Chain A
Amino acid sequence: MADIPADAPRSEDGHYWWDGSQWQLIDQGQQQGQQGQQQQAQSAQTAQQTAQPMTDDLFANMMQAAEADVQEA
């Protein structure tokens, strides 16, 4: 099944998309898959956008969060 272009017009009920010549039925699994991919891409993009230069302070905070309590083996 062809991937739905991101800018393809969709019907008001959300079940069809316009391929330029006719309406195509949107498969539910296909729709969810595309949404999942879009969410992952957005997460990666957000992470990149919010990334700031790593400093020793940020690094120390990261280490503190990763530190476990002392344990007897």
Chain B
Amino acid sequence: MGEVTDIVNSGVAIIHLLANHAGVQTVQGGYANGFPVGYDGNGASGGSFKQITKKWKQSSDWYDFLHADFDFTVGVSWLWGIQQNGSGHYIDQITTTLEIGYLPVDFSVDVQANFPQHGNKFGTHDDVVAGMPMTMAITLEGIFGQAVSFRQQKNVVVKGDGSWEWPT
């Protein structure tokens, strides 16, 4: 097999999810991927799904007026370990997930993942492991006596060997 010159994402660039107490709405959905340049995944073999999640949950006593109760989980799932002609560890169907356990009526959660067109190469020359970084922005907005908001942005990486990075 020839040298893998680059890892590219031929899927979506943005996944955008929005939720309130009534449920989750997909503003912009789809999948990103990480394949060798010029390869569209046709004829790929193997692979396993993995999901990583991060949860925010708070429940307080009825007389506690200093805290708002909420329960939501943000995640990333992807198919890893895909081989092209029996070689490499590539990734496909990378997407973002949002599950709502509980949100107050006046609260909303916004999750947006931005994917680049080019990913990263890990592994060895003969056994390339694809990596796809994404910028994950999570925003919680609500009315808590007055309008408040919380925003967290992290650079998350998922890889073709099933490993991942999500900074604390």
Contact = CB atoms under 8 A, between A and B. Distances in A.
Given A66-B58, A72-B50, A47 B64 contact: yes
Interface in A5-59: 40, 43-44, 47-48, 50-51, 53-56, 59
A15 B62 CA distance: 32
B55 A68 contact: yes
B52 A73 contact: yes
Interface in B10-69: 50-58, 61, 63-68
B150 A56 contact: yes
A63 B56 contact: yes
Contacts of A70: 52-54, 166, 168
B145 interface: yes
A51 B146 CA distance: 13
Contact of A50 (B66, B68, B144, B166): B66
B72 to A, nearest CB: 10
A56 B148 CA distance: 6
B: contact size bracket: 20 to 34
Nearest to A67: B56
- Main SS class of interface, B: strand
A48 B65 contact: yes
A67 B56 CA distance: 5
B149 A62 contact: no
A37 to B, nearest CB: 12
Contact of B149 (A53, A56, A65, A68): A56
B75 interface: yes
Contact of B150 (A43, A53, A60): A60
A55 B65 CA distance: 14
Interface string B102-141: 0000000000000000000000000000000000000010
